[in-house]
Structure 1
Amino acid sequence: MKVVNIYKRLVTLSLVCSAVGLSGCTSLGVEPWERDLLAKKEMALTSAPIDASLDDHIYFSKEATSGGRSFGGGGCGCN
């Protein structure tokens, strides 16, 4: 009874692992026919350049730094 139960679990586990392994690489990036949609102006990270420049000005005024939004620390040298 226990041997049959262990066998069923091993078969189920191997089927699940093989299904996951075979489907793991089905989508690797953007296909060539999808690139036209990603190149549109609306798909940019900042689709409104005026809003982005206003945000940069506010960030610069508060942090006393320019550029490097994604970096830690500020302009005070207390990094």
Structure 2
Amino acid sequence: MSGCKSVAPWERGNLAKMQMEIDPHPLQSEIQSHNYSSREAAPSHKSSSGGGGCGCY
């Protein structure tokens, strides 16, 4: 399949919508990623060293 296709000017607005982006909510995705990595890197309640968190909220 070829990726080259001419798009009419009145159709370009549909391609510019936020839903057409690869990541439509980049800030929300970044916050979720930060929270996930923070929980996974948290120290376990059974050890004093870092890492090994259970991922609990």
TM-score range, shorter chain: 0.3 to 0.5
Greater relative contact order, per chain length (Cα 8 Å cut-off, separation 6+) = 2
- TM value normalised by structure 1: 0.29
Which one has the largest radius of gyration? 1
